[in-house]
Amino acid sequence: MKLFSKYMRRISFTITLFGVLLLIYDLGFDQPAFMQNVINSFYIFLVACEILFIPIPYVSSRKIPVFRVWVFDFIFLVYLSVILLDFLKVIDLPFFRSFLSVYFAVIFSSFREFSFLRIKLKNIFYNPALLFVISFITIIFTGAGMLMLPNATTAGISFIDSLFTSTSAVCVTGLSVVDTGSSFTFFGQIIIMILIQIGGLGIMTFAAYFSYFFRGGLSLENQLFQKEVTNTDKLAEVFKMLMRILYFTFLLEIAGAFLIFLTLDPAIMPSFDNRVFFSLFHAVSGFCNAGFSTLQNNLMEPGFAFNYPLHLIVAGLLIMGGLGFPIVFNFLHYIKHLVLNKWFTRKVKHIPWVISMNTRIVLITTTFLIVSGTILFYFFEYNNTLKEHSGIGKVIEAFFCSVTPRTAGFNTIDNSAISGATILLVLFLMWVGASPGGTGGGVKTTTFAVSILNAISLARGKKRIEVYRREISSLSIMRAYSMIFLSFVVIGFAVMILSFTDGDKGLIKLVYETVSAYSTVGLSMGITFDLSDGGKIILTIVMFIGRVSMLTILVALMRRTRFLNYRYPSEEILIN
């Protein structure tokens, strides 16, 4: 019976895989009537097969699945049964007769079947960093292929432009060589939004969650990988962190979409459906720090450039996504601890050092960068790009323009018109970027903070960095300076090549574009559309390196040292 169940699982997986490929073909190409009928018939066949296959593990195995699995299977089985009965005209429910409901059935079936797929990797090749890099490469090329489907664009797109757009979406950059709103259809924009969501959180995060949900557990290799990705201290808390990340992300994006929807003027965007999709797209793009917009001129578009509530909501999403999940969860835990200690002192045991040193450094550094950036931007651009705004509007726009270079990419001003001082400010903010564990890029706030603290410690004659009665480990210092050095190497090398392929664009603009790509920001001085194919390829590579980090790529490619139980005599090197 167990062998029978195994074969049925393989058959079910094969049918579902074929159904997913057929769904992509159906949505991506215009179908003649005959072919559409054949495709629709296969969808119904897939629904019928799933109805037969879902109960088999419950009959063939004595082991009862966990509660959440059989509840989902029961609800899904009822859903599939209603679709089939409606198709057979046993019942009459218009929604289930529409093939939108069948599309949902195919998608959820694929989630269910793919979660049971076991990929065996040889231990010698198992490397979390390598899997992380491969997962991004896979989704980038998959997305590029999806964007080249005829129904994804209004007038077709070249492979290089498709690859650039897919990389920009997966790496949550926001740079675009074609206009997202006019060049892509509604189907194409949905693909971009999905790529942004997957890229912001990582495809392995989704895969691990669904695998745990349906299997009831994760393999040891998967747990070790997710422990590295989520920066979780304890192996037993890996799934709990995954669950928090996904729930927090979707909750915040839904709340952000709702608030964005309230700020939209029906006179500017009359269609209710368009306002809903606009809100959802920008909420996902905002929280994931992507910077993509369906508007031709981003948030500079007339009717949106002075929508200050919209700008504040997007800025809030950018900050929350850029802080990093470990920081947000630790800070929320700290708030909970304070509230419980204040109102339920007798019931709660005092927990010392609730908020970690990492959280303190990130919050202080982020606050410093936002406040100082707002003040400097306000004074540098007061009579320049901010002159069209007045009063509180100038302050809000200065705040927004201080937040968005931190790997977001939304723009409410013309970046090609900013002053030289502002260019240097934006370059610095882009280079620093967001915080570790979040959806943004850059060298990270902690890297910047550690380098400053190290300089202060050396100036004071200390041999170690001490802050908040804690000592920062030498490994963290080494990582910080490695990130800084590698960022300069990648940016410098890319600018040098771009100066050869697109030297007519001007060195300042090329540096601005490269730093924006490396830090996955998406801000541009207006040269992205005019780049040569060689320039687009260079920026595509830079965006990928910036998202996964050069250090991660080196770790993935280099063989790790196995034996460190020795030390050579130390010797001082002349530095200053």
Last residue within a domain, chosen from 303, 319, 335: 319
Q: Is residue 8 part of a domain?
A: yes
Share of the chain above pLDDT 70, in %: 83
> Residue 574, exposed/middle/buried by CB under 10 A (0-12, 13-18, 19+)?
exposed
Q: Among 87-96, 185-194, 205-214, 423-432, which stretch is predicted with the lowest mean pLDDT?
A: 205-214
How confident is residue 493, by pLDDT bands cut at 50, 70 and 90? Answer: very high
Q: Where residue 232 falls among pLDDT bands split at 50, 70, 90?
A: low
State the Cα–Cα distance between residues 186 and 198, nearest whole angstrom.
18
Residues 331 and 428 both lie in one domain:
yes
Please indicate, yes or no, whether residues 46 and 139 belong to a single structural domain of this protein. Answer: no
Q: 319, 337, 359: which is the final residue of a domain?
A: 319
- Torsion region of 488: left, alpha or beta (phi above 0 gives left; psi -120 to 50 gives alpha): alpha
Q: How many domains does the chain have?
A: 3
* pLDDT given for residue 60 in this prediction: 66
In eight-state DSSP terms, residue 153 is: B
CA distance 318 to 91: 47
Choosing from 114, 131, 149, the residue where a domain stops is 114
| Residue 6 pLDDT > 70 | no
What's the pLDDT at 380? 92
Is residue 258's pLDDT more than 90?
yes
Question: How far apart are the C-alpha atoms of 198 and 175, rounded to whole Å?
Answer: 17
Phi, psi of 502 (to 5 degrees): -135, 45
Same domain? For 336 and 466 the reply is yes
Mean pLDDT of 502-521: 91
Residue 250 lies in a domain: yes
Q: Which of 322, 196, 314, 318 is nearest to 263 (CA)?
A: 314
Phi then psi for residue 301, to 5 deg, are: -55, 135
Pair 337, 407 in one domain: yes
At residue 124, the pLDDT reads 41
The answer, yes or no, to whether residue 330 has pLDDT greater than 90, is no
Residue 220 confidence (pLDDT)? 47
Question: Residues near 146 by Cβ (< 8 Å), separated by ≥ 6?
Answer: 24, 28, 152, 166, 191
**Number of Cβ within a 10 Å radius of residue 560:** 7
What average pLDDT does the segment 453-470 reach?
A: 86
Render 225-255 in DSSP notation, one character per residue. HHHHHHT-S-GGGHHHHHHHHHHHHHHHHHH
Same domain, 310 and 161: yes
99 lies in some domain: yes
> pLDDT at position 134, please?
82
327, 379: one domain: yes
Residue 110 covered by a domain = yes
* pLDDT recorded at residue 80: 85
The answer to whether residue 121 scores a pLDDT higher than 80 is: no
pTM: 0.86
Q: Rounded mean pLDDT of 442-462?
A: 89
Q: C-alpha distances in angstroms, 401 versus 26, 392, 418?
A: 42, 14, 11
What's residue 431's pLDDT?
A: 93
pLDDT classification of 275: cutoffs 50, 70, 90: very high
- pLDDT for 127 beyond 70: no
DSSP state of 434: S
Residues 303 and 336 in one domain: no
Model pLDDT, residue 517: 92
Q: Do 156 and 98 share a structural domain?
A: no
For residue 184, the SS3 value is strand
Q: What is the pLDDT of residue 394?
A: 92
**β-strands 470-471, 466-467: how paired?**
antiparallel
Name 93's Cβ contacts closer than 8 Å, sequence gap at least 6: 82, 86
**Is residue 412 a contact partner of residue 401, using CB atoms and an 8 Å limit?**
yes
Residue 346 inside a domain? The answer is yes
Whether 266 is covered by a domain: the verdict is: yes
Confidence grade of residue 162 (pLDDT, cut at 50, 70, 90): very high
Q: pLDDT class for 100, splitting at 50, 70, 90? A: confident
Tell me what the mean pLDDT of segment 20-48 comes to: 86
Give tens-digit pLDDT for 333-355. Answer: 777 777 766 665 555 555 556 77
User: Does 132 share its domain with 108?
Assistant: no
Q: Which domain holds residue 469?
A: 321-557
The answer to whether residue 105 sits within a structural domain is yes
Average pLDDT of the residues of the chain: 82
pLDDT digits (tens, 9 = 90+) for 197-226: 888 876 656 555 555 555 555 554 555 555
- Same domain for 532 and 427: yes
- Rounded (5°) CA angle 316-318-322: 120
Residues 488 and 441 both lie in one domain: yes
The tokens describing 73, both together, are: 């299977």
Distance, CA of 237 to CA of 242 (rounded, Å): 9
**Do both 173 and 98 map to the same domain?**
no
pLDDT in tens, 519-570: 988 888 888 888 899 999 999 999 999 888 888 888 777 766 666 677 778 7
